[in-house]
Chain A
Amino acid sequence: MAESASGTLVLERVNTPPAQTWNHLRANDITLTVPVVSRKGDVYFALPRLFESIECGMGGAVTDWIESQASDARYVEVRAGEKREEPIIAESDTGIMVRAGAEATIVVCAPTGGPAQGTTAALVRIIAERGAQVHVLEFVCGDTEQHLESVGIVAGEDARVDVRQFFLGAGTTAAGLAVALDGNRARLDLSCRYLARDNDVLDINHVIRQRGRNTRCDVHESGVLDGHARKALRATIDLVHGSSGSEGAELENVLVLSDDVTNKTMPVILCDEDDVAGNHGASIGSVAPEQIQYLQDRGLTLEEAEQLYVRALFDEALICAPTSETRKAVLARATEILGSETASDLVEGLDLAEKSGPFATTEV
């Protein structure tokens, strides 16, 4: 970290993956310039010590910076066995303890407000104790100049964590997620959907540490790149010594709609254990010709077929959005990209989803 004169800070080596084998791509990390406000003299409420040791996806420099800038950290605890219905809204610096056997939904929604908002950030640390079920939903649909989102999760024995990320915003989005499957049979399902277009920059770091025995992780990233977008995805599954019987799988599907897109994907499976299975698969490129043909055979032009992939991102984001704030954010962005007719069509669909479950067919 190097402090500059003008109230900004240069954060180097952000979103660094555990193994850096991609020098030739020059995409091992990203460097970000962020604003700093002096908090000298403020009384800062820090999270319990337990949270300090949690690895967060964007790395230590970002954690330090957000902690130094957040007015207060917020600590939320879900009591053992409690099934918390109301989602927990995680903001700039939040630590959440989900006690044994409890269930909770955690929502991270990046603020909107236009490029004038400059830089926004969120730091979220979560502990899922034994048997806990944690659903994490991240929505970045804003139009701020730059958004940083760093998440760290530790999962105990039999804990089940699912994370759904929607990175659909404009400008620069840098997001890191680190999940430690420490307990035996802990499980992670991670779905990451993204859209980057125009001159957007999207930088993602996924780090899954499988430490417990018989842990499972299923990671699926998929998205659409258009215009002059630049995207880097680092995805690491680390099958740590002692994680016997564990399985990890990662798959990315990228749809590239323009020749001016920069798309870098760096998947790594680290393996220090014999009795484990790690899988990586990827399909990169434009939509396969037979897929386009199928869509054209049902009446869509090439552009409409491509736009369908974009609409699908918003349909899914909207279905998953659990609060009016997240829905508003998704819709505002959908209107901007798909136009108001399609966006209002999404709302109509959502209205029904709310009344009768996502897609009930028994309607009158």
Chain B
Amino acid sequence: MHDTLLRVSGINAGTEDKPILHDIDLAVGAGETHVLMGPNGAGKSTLGRVIMGDPAYQVNSGTIEFGGEDITDEAADKRSLAGIFLSYQAPVEVPGVPLYSYLRTITQKRPELKMTARKFRARVGEIADQLDMSGSFLTRELNVGFSGGEKKKIEMLQLLLLRPKLAILDETDSGLDVDALSVVSRGIEAYRADCGGALLVITHNTRILERLSVDRTHVMVQGRLVAEGPASLIDDIDAHGFEQFERANASGGDRA
């Protein structure tokens, strides 16, 4: 049995005037791969943000533990340094900050990753090659003017550079063409192979899961986790969609 890396217990959260997440319990063991599925608007991204510590969302009750520490009240930067990484569904454009300056700064912030500029450049070069990215990206402003696929690659580049213990990938695969999808899949595989980190993959698309061995699947409907099961649950959802869970949730039925 693995150590529990992330433990979300009884979380109720939302924006100031709108409850979004209800009674969320979720445990992810070190090195495990979990999948979170659910219809649009279910609250999947919100859960990712709440785990990351986005102050746009209020946690009204419940706790989040990471590596045995209660991080419910920690700021996002602390959680990041502790080893949580959230890959954005829509990465934010940051004009005025070249990718190079940014990557260097977030890397130097971590004692375990501190390295000379030379080593750093070599490492970034390696990852860029792995992700079929041109080095010229580095002098461009962070995420500004990049295509959707390129932005996701930049997220993967950071994932591989920062080597977190837990990576939450929020629809990293959505809107990608076949080539970009295979590059991103390779990135995720490399993360598993090199860092042995845990994954919480939020997705609609089973393709990205083909090359991953999934430990647990969770289904979210209307802000509640309504079902949890083995990898085979994904095939079930693929074949039958979310209606069964939505019906069960609407009738207030038993939450499996």
Q: Which of A4-12, A20-28, A305-313 contacts B (4 or more CB under 8 A)?
A: A305-313
Q: Which of A32-40, A68-76, A352-360 contacts B (4 or more CB under 8 A)?
A: A352-360
Q: Which residues from B are CB-within-8-Å of A312?
A: 96-98, 101-102
CB pair B125–A293 under 8 Å, yes or no, is no
User: Closest chain B residue to A362 by CB distance?
Assistant: B125
Task: Report Cα–Cα, A192/B54, bound state, in Å.
Answer: 33
User: Closest chain A residue to B102 by CB distance?
Assistant: A308
Task: Report Cα–Cα, A301/B105, bound state, in Å.
Answer: 11
Q: Which of B36-44, B74-82, B181-189, B204-212 contacts A (4 or more CB under 8 A)?
A: B74-82
Task: Report Cα–Cα, A361/B152, bound state, in Å.
Answer: 19
B242 close to A (CB within 8 Å): no
CB pair A352–B117 under 8 Å, yes or no, is yes
Q: Describe A's contact surface by its main secondary structure.
A: helix
CB pair B95–A299 under 8 Å, yes or no, is no
Tell me how far the C-beta of A329 lies from the nearest C-beta in chain B, rounded to whole angstroms.
19
Q: CB within 8 A of A300: which of B52, B77, B124, B133? A: B77
Known contacts: A297-B76, A349-B121, A362-B125. The answer to whether A309 contacts B97 by CB under 8 A is yes
CB pair B97–A308 under 8 Å, yes or no, is yes
Tell me how far the C-beta of A50 lies from the nearest C-beta in chain B, rounded to whole angstroms.
37
CB pair A359–B100 under 8 Å, yes or no, is yes
User: Closest chain A residue to B128 by CB distance?
Assistant: A361
Q: CB within 8 A of B80: which of A297, A308, A309, A359? A: A297
Task: Report Cα–Cα, A291/B138, bound state, in Å.
Answer: 18
CB pair B77–A301 under 8 Å, yes or no, is yes
Task: Report Cα–Cα, A56/B118, bound state, in Å.
Answer: 43
Q: Which of B3-11, B60-68, B84-92, B223-231 contacts A (4 or more CB under 8 A)?
A: B84-92
CB pair B122–A363 under 8 Å, yes or no, is yes
Known contacts: A294-B92, A309-B96. The answer to whether A359 contacts B135 by CB under 8 A is yes
Known contacts: A300-B77, A361-B135. The answer to whether A293 contacts B54 by CB under 8 A is yes
User: Closest chain B residue to A222 by CB distance?
Assistant: B96
A269 close to B (CB within 8 Å): no
User: Closest chain B residue to A288 by CB distance?
Assistant: B92
Q: Which of B23-31, B106-114, B194-202 contacts A (4 or more CB under 8 A)?
A: B106-114
Q: CB within 8 A of A299: which of B55, B77, B93, B136? A: B77
Tell me how far the C-beta of B133 lies from the nearest C-beta in chain A, rounded to whole angstroms.
8
A181 close to B (CB within 8 Å): no
Q: How many residues of B contact A (CB 8 A)?
A: 47
B104 close to A (CB within 8 Å): yes
Known contacts: A298-B80, A304-B105, A345-B104. The answer to whether A361 contacts B129 by CB under 8 A is yes
CB pair B108–A299 under 8 Å, yes or no, is no
User: Closest chain B residue to A345 by CB distance?
Assistant: B117
CB pair B88–A253 under 8 Å, yes or no, is no
Task: Report Cα–Cα, A180/B54, bound state, in Å.
Answer: 49
User: Closest chain B residue to A224 by CB distance?
Assistant: B96
Tell me how far the C-beta of B6 lies from the nearest C-beta in chain A, rounded to whole angstroms.
16
A290 close to B (CB within 8 Å): yes
Digit string of B155-196 for contact with A (CB within 8 Å is 1, else 0)? 000100010000000000000000000000000000000000
User: Closest chain B residue to A311 by CB distance?
Assistant: B101
B134 close to A (CB within 8 Å): yes
Task: Report Cα–Cα, A316/B138, bound state, in Å.
Answer: 11
Which A residues from 42 to 95 make CB contacts under 8 A with B?
Answer: none
Which A residues from 304 to 350 make CB contacts under 8 A with B?
Answer: 304, 308-309, 311-312, 315-316, 319, 345, 348-349
B116 close to A (CB within 8 Å): yes
Q: Which residues from B are CB-within-8-Å of A308?
A: 97, 101-102, 105
A-B CB contact pairs (8 Å), 19 listed: A224-B96, A291-B93, A294-B92, A296-B80, A297-B80, A299-B81, A300-B105, A300-B109, A304-B109, A308-B102, A311-B105, A312-B96, A315-B101, A345-B104, A345-B108, A352-B121, A359-B121, A361-B133, A363-B122
Interface residues, chain B, with chain A CB atoms under 8 Å away: 52-56, 75-77, 80-81, 85-86, 88, 91-98, 100-102, 104-106, 108-110, 116-118, 121-122, 124-125, 128-129, 133-136, 138-139, 158, 162
Top 9 A-B pairs ranked by shortest CB distance? A361-B135, A348-B117, A361-B125, A299-B80, A294-B92, A359-B138, A296-B76, A312-B101, A315-B101
Extra A-B contacts (20), CB below 8 Å, given A294-B88, A299-B162: A222-B95, A253-B95, A293-B55, A294-B94, A296-B76, A296-B80, A297-B80, A298-B85, A298-B106, A299-B80, A300-B106, A301-B75, A304-B109, A308-B101, A308-B102, A319-B139, A349-B121, A359-B138, A362-B135, A364-B122
